Amino acid sequence: MTSLALSAVAATLAATPGPTAGPASPAYLVQRLGDTAVARLTAPGFAALPLEDKRVAWYLTLAGHAGEPIQFDQLGWNALAAKRLLEGVYLGGLEGKPGAASFDARFTAYLTRFYGNLGNHDEKTSQKLLPDFTFDELAAAARRALKAGAPLGVKDDAALEGRLAELRPTLFDPAFEPLATSKTPAPGKDILTSSSNTCYGRDVTLKDLTGFKEKFPLNSRVVKQGGKLVEQVYRAGTPDGKVPPGLYAAELNLVILHLTAAAKHAKKDQAEALTRLVRYFRTGAPADWDAYNIAWLKADTAVDANLGFIESYVDARGQKGQWEALVDYRDAAENKVMELIGKKAQYFEDRMPWPNEYKRKKVTPPVAKAVSLVNSYPQPPAGINLPNEQHVRQKYGSKSVLVANSNETGSALKRLPLALEFSRTAEDREEAKRYSALARKWLVAFHEVVGHGSGQVSRKLTEDPSVYLKEYDNTLEEARADLVALWHAFDPALAELSPDYERVARQMYRDLLVEALTDLANVPKGDEFEEDHQRAGHLIAGFLIEQGAVKQVEDTDARGARRTSWAVLDYPKMREAVGQLLTRLMVIKATGDYPGVQTLVQRLGVKFDPKLRDEVVARVKAADVPSTLYLVSPRLVPVLGEAGEVKDVVLRDDQPFIEQQLERSLLGGLPPDEATRAAAEWAASPAALKKALLQPR
């Protein structure tokens, strides 16, 4: 399938008749870089929001930009220095030569991937991203950039040479910090010291943490000082000095300024939540994080955000939260499925296959909604369920969202083309065309609303299940949430959404197998999955094959090439197997059974057949389906009145991916009023933005 054919897939979605029809086909695709596609997020409903909601969205977006350096820093010891150097080279060190083989083209492709993965490790595989240019080429470009006055984060020639020497192994040595997160290191190696993220000091091992009680488990870096373990807490400190500043204090102080500005325009409940978030960023205290989450759950708003140290996928122990900043608004057109599942949350909980003692007797109705993102990192989620803290979730409920515009773009450019390529029969392909987009929305809705929000743990557990399940907790939770969706997919209650609900359910089953199979294409080297979602999918598929509900079928095409499929042999039998695995995972979570989850994940979720992977890679490449999508967020532009007030916020879709990242870097370092004036000026004058980018920083 060519790049032009990808646009035709979006048109197919739009032309599909009946309730499964997709939206009118926007121009999603921006560019292709080999197996990667850069595409746009659309946000058609934003313009209709009230002014105060637009203002809240604007200042929350600035808060996200201000915290972005934290996100890069958490993913690599030299990630921020590398980012500054690469940006400077882009601004002042390119040769100006055309051609796909030129240094400029190779460098720009690498910078795109660096931004897209928030550093020099692949977000899905954790494996290091190596450039297609040499160290000498980069060094020459950096010297040109310094001579041209571009900001490189260094003052003179000597400092530049030192920086280049420091970054040489980081960027070019495949054996130096090869994995961002290593949950299955080589025998005798440690999961923490084999990981190159900065959740722990470079010399801190898992054994060192035995018996060490963290006071700030989510938002601290544990390091050794004088031979003792110390927590460096992520916090700004309090104005009265009672709580001292900690790690990332400068960035968090800017975040706080933007949150305070947003609170001035927010409704009462949201303003209260933002005030509590400010308090948490000052103290870093877990009790203040809980207080924020409880207030956030009560604030059912049109514009919302996920801000803070939230998901723990990057930490090999599954404890440290990575900085996250997503800003969204409610998408009323996509809300029906979320509302139905949220309304029937207790109904679905009562029908779970696991023992009654682990079912929640009184489910707090979740806030369930469809949203579209207006600010995101390049690889956003398809759905979100928060907070992650089990004790808050059980008592106060959760917020579950379907990310409509992320799903729309992903379905058009990736999921539907893969479903077509890996469907075994012509009938399956026709069903995929008709139902795949809808099946994806239903799966995500169940995954977030009921999946993550379901179940209760044994009273014998004195801490969150993640403390017991350690590095396997996230894999278990992602598998459990998908299995909840598969378990309920055939429930007659879904006839309210579509009379074809059983066909949608069957498509959901087939698509999950396709996704698990094609995840192999995301790991072009080695024979192991490291990423939790991929481990979860492989675990589910492996179990279903073991139970005889799914069969690995090997056909050949007209040229004799192998075409492997994972085919559903019997849908009722597959659902029965889904229930068996779901029950096992829930009991493991409820009882904190570390040996049980370790055995299951290691047996079915980690290893794969490299020969099968090579076949999948070849088929995905031949079909010209991107294995990775980087999404360009809508560009929010403040419109200022005569007194400098924000009288509107409009969206533009004319900003290239790299330029968007550069602008965000600048805006993230400015206080609210200055950032607002700068954004308005730069949107009106590309020359003004270019001038600002070339200023020393």
List pLDDT tens digits, range 71-118.
Answer: 999 999 999 999 999 999 999 999 999 998 999 999 999 999 999 999
**CA 168: distance to chain centroid?**
28
Beta bridge partners of 386: 399
Token pair listed for 457? 């743990």
The pair phi, psi for residue 57, each rounded to 5°, is -60, -40
- Whether the link from the prior residue into 23 is cis, omega within 30° of 0, is no
Percent of the chain that is helix, strand, coil (3-state, to 5) = 50, 15, 35
Q: Cβ distance 92 to 694 under 8 Å?
A: yes
Give the SS3 label for residue 647: strand
Beta bridge partners of 222: 200, 231
Rounded distance between C-alpha atoms, residue 454 and residue 439, angstroms: 21
pLDDT at 54 over 80: yes
DSSP one-letter code for 560: S
Given strand 367-375, what is the order of strands in its sheet?
A: 303-309, 323-330, 367-375, 399-403, 383-386
What are the structural domains, with CATH classification, of the chain?
76-179 (no CATH), 180-330 (3.30.540), 331-623+654-669 (no CATH)
What is residue 486's predicted lDDT score, i.e. its pLDDT? 98
DSSP string for 384-430: EEE---HHHHHHH--EEEEEHHHHHHHIIIIIHHHHHHT-SSHHHHH
Rounded distance between C-alpha atoms, residue 414 and residue 412, angstroms: 6
Count the Cβ atoms, other than its own, within 10 Å of residue 229: 16
Alpha helices in 214-335, H assignment, sequence order: 249-265, 268-283, 286-298
Number of DSSP helices (H) and strands (E) in the chain, helices first: 25, 14
pLDDT at 181 over 50: yes
Q: Cβ distance 373 to 41 under 8 Å?
A: yes
Alpha helices in 592-697, H assignment, sequence order: 594-601, 610-622, 657-667, 672-684, 686-693
User: Rg for the chain (alpha carbons), in Å?
Assistant: 24
The pair phi, psi for residue 384, each rounded to 5°, is -140, 140
Question: What does the buried/exposed string (b/e) look like for 607-630 if buried means 16 or more CB atoms within 10 Å of the residue's CB?
Answer: ebeeeebebbbebbeeebbbbbbb
pLDDT tens-digit readout, 188-222: 999 999 999 999 999 999 999 999 999 999 999 99
pLDDT tens-digit readout, 235-292: 999 999 999 999 999 999 999 999 999 999 999 999 999 999 999 999 999 999 999 9
Q: What is the mean pLDDT of residues 333-355?
A: 93
Rounded distance between C-alpha atoms, residue 303 and residue 376, angstroms: 14
Q: Hey, what amino acid is at 150?
A: A
The alpha carbon dihedral of 477, 478, 484, 487 has a sign of negative
What is residue 187's predicted lDDT score, i.e. its pLDDT? 92
Mean pLDDT of the chain: 93
Question: What does the buried/exposed string (b/e) look like for 274-307 if buried means 16 or more CB atoms within 10 Å of the residue's CB?
Answer: bebbbbbbbbbbbebbbbbbbbbbebebbbbbbb
Q: Cβ distance 387 to 312 under 8 Å?
A: no
Q: What is the mean pLDDT of residues 552-577?
A: 92
Rounded distance between C-alpha atoms, residue 667 and residue 650, angstroms: 17
pLDDT at 17 over 60: no
Top-confidence residue, 470 or 20: 470
DSSP string for 301-349: -SEEEEEEE---SSSTTS-SPPEEEEEEEE-GGG-HHHHHHHHTHHHHH
Beta bridge partners of 324: 308
